[in-house]
Amino acid sequence: MTVYGYARVSTAGQSLYEQKETLKNAGAEMIFSEKYSGTTTSRPQFKKLVNLIEPNDTLIVTKLDRFARNTREALNLIDDLLKQKIVIKVLNLGTIDNTPMGRMIVRTLLSVAEMERDMIIERTQAGKIFARQHNPNYKEGRPKRKKDSRNVAIFEYSNSHTVKKTAEAFNISPRTVQYIKKLFR
């Protein structure tokens, strides 16, 4: 009987550290983690975990919304895992069991989480509409990088060095080097 943990954050900029520590403290022996949006269908670490887990093993997650993208997927996953006799522990809820009351509680909580996500999206869209109507200078998205002297230096250096060496020399990420090279083409 192995105790597995699963941690997920929505963006690459977020840290998994807190979730991993919480899972370790809850008894997780092996932790699978990834940085993917809840709306992304590809979760290779989660797939690996589901293929590895066996009857009577335990799966621990910190919160239900770290587990699945939406209510339907979570219910399907929970049903599948419970049928395989896998114990599911959600740290902010407790153990999910295969009883009518347990399933009802999960459905209710997942519906609320999905509604909350939808409301955040709605508010964000409303904010963008308001900004477009009331701010003539409003532009959506990340501001364009300028061809300033630093970027010119990075571009020129990158013409005779690898992306990795350029990134190290200017203390920037390789992705930023690629972006600057693209900016000058």
Catalytic-labelled residue, pool 10, 15, 37, 42: 10
Distance (Å, whole) CA 155 – CA 157:
5
Distance (Å, whole) CA 38 – CA 9:
8
> Which backbone phi and psi does 137 adopt, to 5 degrees?
-95, 5
Distance (Å, whole) CA 131 – CA 129:
5
Annotated active-site residue 10? The verdict is yes
Distance (Å, whole) CA 154 – CA 167:
9
By DSSP bridging, strand 94-96 and strand 87-90 are antiparallel
DSSP H helix total and E strand total for the chain: 7, 5
Distance (Å, whole) CA 48 – CA 129:
41
Active site residues: 10
